[in-house]
Amino acid sequence: MNLDQLRERIDEIDAKLLELLNQRMEVVHEVGALKRTSKTVIYRPEREKFIIDRLYKLNKGGLTRAAIEAIFLEIFSVSRHFELPERVAYLGPEGSFTHQAAESRFGAVSEYVALNNIKQIFDSVETERVRFGVVPIENNQEGSVAETIDQLCERDIKIVAEVPMSIHFTLSGLEDRLEKIHTIYSKDIAFRQCKNFLENYFGDRVNLVEVASTSKAAKLASEEEGAAAICSHIAAKLYNLPVLFENIEDSKSNRTRFFIISKNIVNQKSDNDKTTILAKIKDEPGGLVEFLNDFKREKINLCKLESRPARIKASFKYFFLIDFEGHYTDLNAQRIFEKYGERITFLGSYVRMV
Ligand SMILES: O=C(O)C(=O)C[C@]1(C(=O)O)C=C[C@@H](O)C=C1
């Protein structure tokens, strides 16, 4: 077959796909109507996971799991928008890694609101100005994001999903030759994570200028000759900045985990869940040991345990943010909730991605 014939085949298949997608949307429309009458939530990550798992098992063609996931996550986001347009707040500015994480879950059609800090995201979710918020919780090179943990401790908000994302930096700029670059803009943390690249390619002959975000860096570099930015792909694209080098970070396993938060949404159980709680453990000898032993006895695997100052008066008291495997409705988890009562605050059960 020649190119024209192959393209004709593609056009025929696309027409069929379009018809099937429209059929799917008609059914989704009915689901939306049902959910409105029964006042149930639109976003159901456990159902989305179930669909992707099922399709992957059914798959006989060359599509990888990642490809199936990418295509269907976009379909789900169109479906959800069809059922009810969703507003999503993320830690801005536009082009930030949190923006990239938000788009990976909510797709291109959702309405996005870029906010300046983590507290503002919790404010707008709590007051329901937006349905969902996307915030970073931890980076595997830099550790936890204290502000997110503190907000989770103080608010009446639930975690509905976790989104792990590999963090890749680019060097982007308008210059076609490295010798012409005399200034590089970026955020402090990005400079730290791309140290080897900067030393190898520039030594100490460039000015490294710290700015508030990598998107700001991309914007400045797009307006100035002789400048470049260390920024994400999405930020370079936003400011039409050519990417000169990709994946310039020192550690190739640089990952950030984000939480999607919402008010009062509690996910149903899937076959692979994780639960996050906040625990105020008795301030007495053996208090923490007894608590951890209860998890051991119930055969619940802990994935994360992090202490944060409780910020009560002038004392040195701590909360523990704990992630464990399983859903909050599991009987063994329920026994722990019963035993500790008000000492435990449930923050969410969600499909495990990490
Ligand atoms: O099954 C549902 O509850 C739906 O709303 C449908 C659908 C889908 O497109 O398949 C859309 C949104 C949900 O997050 C999960 C699945």
Instruction: Give the CA dihedral 343, 316, 148, 46, nearest 10 degrees.
Output: -20
Around ligand 1, the residues with Cβ closer than 6 Å are: 28, 31, 42-44, 47-48, 51, 76, 79-80, 83
> 75 alpha carbon to ligand 1 midpoint, in Å?
10
The CATH code of the domain at 170-245 is 3.40.190.10
Secondary structure string (H, E, C) spanning 286-328? CHHHHHHHHHHHCCCCEEEEEEEECCCCCCCCEEEEEEEECCC
Question: Which of ligand 1's atoms lies nearest the C-alpha of 24?
Answer: 9
Pairing of strands 170-173, 227-231: antiparallel
Other beta carbons less than 10 A from residue 235's beta carbon: 30
> 126 alpha carbon to ligand 1 midpoint, in Å?
24
Is the backbone peptide bond immediately before 136 cis, with ω within 30 degrees of 0? no
Residue of 76, 78, 81, 351 best suited for mutating to test ligand 1, as the one with most atoms within 8 Å of CB: 76
**Taking the domains of the chain in order of start, what are their residue ranges?**
170-245, 267-351
Between CA 132 and CA 121 the distance in angstroms is 9
Question: Which of ligand 1's atoms lies nearest the C-alpha of 44?
Answer: 14
Question: Residue 316: what pLDDT?
Answer: 62
Between CA 250 and CA 195 the distance in angstroms is 7
CB 197 within 8 A of CB 241: no
Question: Which of ligand 1's atoms lies nearest the C-alpha of 42?
Answer: 5
User: From residue 286, how far is each of 38, 319, 341, 348 by CA, in Å?
Assistant: 47, 16, 19, 27
pTM of this structure: 0.84
User: From residue 25, how far is each of 18, 50, 66, 322 by CA, in Å?
Assistant: 10, 18, 23, 39
Biggest CA pair distance of the chain: 78
> 66 alpha carbon to ligand 1 midpoint, in Å?
19
Other beta carbons less than 10 A from residue 349's beta carbon: 27
Question: Residue 313: what pLDDT?
Answer: 63
**In the sheet that 183-186 helps form, which strands lie side by side, from edge to edge?**
207-210, 183-186, 227-231, 170-173, 243-245
Q: Where are the alpha helices (DSSP H) in 194-273?
A: 195-202, 214-222, 233-238
Quick one: which H or E segment has residue 170? strand 170-173
CATH superfamily of 267-351: ACT domain (3.30.70.260)
Per-position pLDDT tens, the chain of length 354: 999 999 999 999 999 999 999 999 999 999 999 988 888 888 899 999 999 999 999 999 999 999 999 999 999 999 998 888 889 999 988 999 999 999 989 888 889 999 999 999 999 999 999 999 999 999 988 889 999 999 998 899 999 999 999 999 999 999 999 999 999 999 998 999 999 999 999 999 999 999 988 999 999 999 999 999 999 988 999 999 999 999 999 988 889 999 999 998 889 999 999 999 999 988 888 889 999 999 999 999 999 999 888 776 666 678 899 999 999 999 999 999 999 999 999 999 999 998
Spell out the residues 6+ positions from residue 307 whose beta carbon is closer than 8 angstroms to its own.
318, 319, 320, 321
Q: Residue 166 — φ and ψ, nearest 5°?
A: -75, 135
